[in-house]
Structure 1
Amino acid sequence: MQQNSCFLILSLSLLFLPFIFSDARKDALTGGWTPIKNIKDPHVSEIAEFAIDEYNKQSKGNLKLEEVVKGKTQVVSGINYTLVLQVKDETVDNSYEAVVWEKAWLKFRKLTSFTLVKG
């Protein structure tokens, strides 16, 4: 009898195991956002510089990157990066949120959003 109980518990555990971890997998598979753990990573800095350069080209601005404050990524057809950037325009410091879509295997990047963070 005890052997049957152990087998039943093991079977039920294996049956429900995918449901226990489904939330974490679902976020990664369906385009959920994941915080960037190392915002000092050189690739993150490269994405931030790209965002500033593109914004300056489009708006004829003169923003300079001070630092990446925080960020997150989203797996899509490539990777979306949402970065909060501390920037300087002449003598004024502001924070902006930049969204960059990257397909590294195609050497493709596009600035999809660049907005002033209020507050």
Structure 2
Amino acid sequence: MNSRAIFLLLLLLSFHASAMLPAGRWSPISNVKDPHVVEVGKFAVSEYDKESKSELKFVAVVSGESKVVAGTNYRLIVAVNDGVAGPCASKNYEAIVWEKQWLKSMNLTSFKPVV
């Protein structure tokens, strides 16, 4: 097989593999304690604090989903402490973060209390 045929075969296989990915569909995150998922959760709380001038403290990622869309969107339920209800009380917020890993870029697109 020449190099052109190998390239075309690899290209065809990559298209086939990408067609099998659930692009645009939310998929559950099985391990919310994964260091990268925790990093995304901490980023969401930190970014919200900067934007809103609040002082929320990240506690944990409670649950989450992700989907592939020109990067990865993470929809996480994060537990935070606001200092108002006491040092041990936490509240849950839904955070949506869009990450472009190849650019080492994250953007907080939504952060709201879970009701």
Q: Same fold (TM over 0.5)?
A: yes
What is the aligned partner in structure 2 of residue 70 from structure 1? 63
Q: Shift of residue 67 of structure 1?
A: 1.1
RMSD: 1.6
Identify the structure with the greater helix proportion: 1
Is 1:100 paired with 2:94?
Answer: no
Identical residues among aligned pairs (%)? 49
Is 1:50 paired with 2:14?
Answer: no
Q: What letter matches 2:99 in structure 1?
A: E
Identify the structure with the greater strand proportion: 1
Which is higher, the Rg of structure 1 or of structure 2?
Answer: 1
Q: Output the CA distance in 1 between the equivalents of 2:72 and 2:45.
A: 18
Structure 1: state its 5+ residue gaps.
Answer: 1-24
**Aligned mate of 2:81, from 63, 88, 92:** 88
Q: What letter matches 1:67 in structure 2?
A: A
Q: TM-score, normalized by length of structure 1?
A: 0.74
Q: Output the CA distance in 2 between the equivalents of 1:32 and 1:44.
A: 18
Q: TM-score, normalized by length of structure 2?
A: 0.77
Count of aligned pairs: 94
SS in 1 for 2:21: helix
